[in-house]
Amino acid sequence: MNSRRDFLQKLSLGIGAATLTDLTPGIAAPVTSNVPADKQLRVALMGLGGYADIVARGMKECKTARLVGIVTGTPSKIPVWKQKYGIEDKNVYNYENLHEIKNNPDIDLVYVITPNSLHHKHVLQVAAAGKHVVCEKPVADNAKQAREMIAACEKANVKFYIGYRLHFEPHTKELVRMREAGEFGKIMHVNNYAGFKIGDPTQWRLKKSLAGGGAMMDVGVYSTNGARYCTGEEPIWVTAQESKTDPVKFKDVDETVTFQLGFPSGIIANCGCTYNFNHVEMLRLMGEKGWAEMNPAFGYGPIRGTTHKAAIDQPDVNHQAYQMDGIADAILNGKPDPNVTGEEGLKDMLVIDAVYESLRKNGAKVFIKK
């Protein structure tokens, strides 16, 4: 496993699995209604890298969302995508003419899947064009940018969501349901880790100007978000440490970061992320009455979990299809927003900002700014 795509792409076994129950607070439910084709949410993907192709393939399973357009700066990709996904010429854009999408009634939403440090610029552009937005995580380079993105979408009266696919994933959903139902008792401790050994040293993820940071900005989002949905609380302080075994390869970005999150109730979460080694994708929750472990916890599937009671018995699904159907259902049918809005992305960025501040201060405790 030598790339982020390898790390995450354990594609779901049971695409089109059984319908789940109603919305669990904090984790969105999948769509259960059938929406006529002429009322589907029509989506354009912006940035046609490896993950965009995974989203596009996943959307073939959607009931309420449909891929109709693309935005790319690489002309050679256009004929391939047109043929593979049936994209019409009128729904093809580049970064220079993106503003013209405002006049296209056949596109409702743009899913931004460009490098991290371009998210801020691109979300602002899409909002200005009056289209709803999904943005891949991390939402931005920092919390300040995230706030600006939220404000721009509110001003334009468009919806703004972040690609937290695990908030729609049944095993993760069940873990949160059990925690909220008190089946673990008072939560005492959380331990989670996400990472992989990164490959190509010339890729954009190792360039701070495009990635915003290293492992912390990439897979570290899983650690922060996982700690938050395992506790149901927002952390109030952080301490963090970095180790770097290859100062040449990782001259621009962090390689391995371990960090601790302190929560209002006294819970401590030990978290970590790395670009230096494989086989780290786990989450463990300890409570007064019981425990849960997810391993694998963060990839594209299958997710696996067990608790003090039994294995978490939930269907394997296509994460990207469930995510896009959930978002489409909220937009088309006036359902409550799933817990993947820009505000959720901001909460993770507040933690990540504090982690980097702690690293700059040699591991000192940093209180998270709200």
Task: Express each pLDDT in 76-112 by its tens digit.
Answer: 999 999 999 999 999 999 999 999 999 999 999 999 9
Task: Verify that 180 and 208 share a domain, yes or no.
Answer: yes
Q: Is residue 106 part of a domain?
A: yes
Show the tokens assigned to 286: 């300890």
Q: Is residue 327 part of a domain?
A: no
Nearby residues of 332 by Cβ (< 8 Å), 6 or more positions away: 35, 39, 40, 41, 64
Position 31 scores a pLDDT of 44
Q: Per the confidence metrics, is the pTM higher than 0.85?
A: yes
Position 20 scores a pLDDT of 31
pLDDT(189) > 50 = yes
Position 279 scores a pLDDT of 86
How far lies 79's CA from each of 180, 259, 282, in Å? 48, 45, 40
Range of the domain at 178: 167-315+339-367
Q: Are 331 and 209 in contact (CB under 8 A)?
A: no
Place of tokens 């192709």: 53
How far lies 203's CA from each of 53, 75, 76, 151, 249, in Å? 18, 20, 19, 32, 11
β partners of residue 126: none
Task: Verify that 132 and 229 share a domain, yes or no.
Answer: no
Question: Measuring CA to CA, which residue among 292, 249, 298 is closest to residue 273?
Answer: 298
Question: Measuring CA to CA, which residue among 35, 347, 81 is closest to residue 221?
Answer: 347
Task: Verify that 200 and 155 share a domain, yes or no.
Answer: no
The domain boundary, picked from 165, 197, 226, lies at 165
Strands laid side by side in the 280-287 sheet: 305-307, 291-294, 280-287, 187-195, 268-274, 256-262, 237-243, 366-367
Q: Are 15 and 61 in contact (CB under 8 A)?
A: yes
pLDDT(308) > 90 = yes
Place of tokens 């989450």: 283
CATH of the domain at 53: 3.40.50.720
Q: Is residue 196 part of a domain?
A: yes
DSSP-assigned letters across all residues of 238-269:
EEEEEE-S-TTTTSSS-SEEEEEEE-TTS-EE
The domain boundary, picked from 165, 183, 218, lies at 165
Position 370 scores a pLDDT of 85
Q: How far apart are CA 282 and CA 156, in angstroms?
A: 39
Task: Express each pLDDT in 268-278 by its tens digit.
Answer: 999 999 999 99
If you average pLDDT over residues 183-195, what whole number do you get? 97
pLDDT(10) > 50 = no
Rg (the chain; Cα; Å): 20
Q: Are 239 and 364 in contact (CB under 8 A)?
A: yes
Q: Say how many domains are in the chain.
A: 2
The gap from C-alpha 344 to its chain's centroid, in whole angstroms, comes to: 10
Position 280 scores a pLDDT of 86
Residue at 249: amino acid letter: K
Q: Are 198 and 245 in contact (CB under 8 A)?
A: no
CATH of the domain at 282: 3.30.360.10
Q: Is residue 264 part of a domain?
A: yes
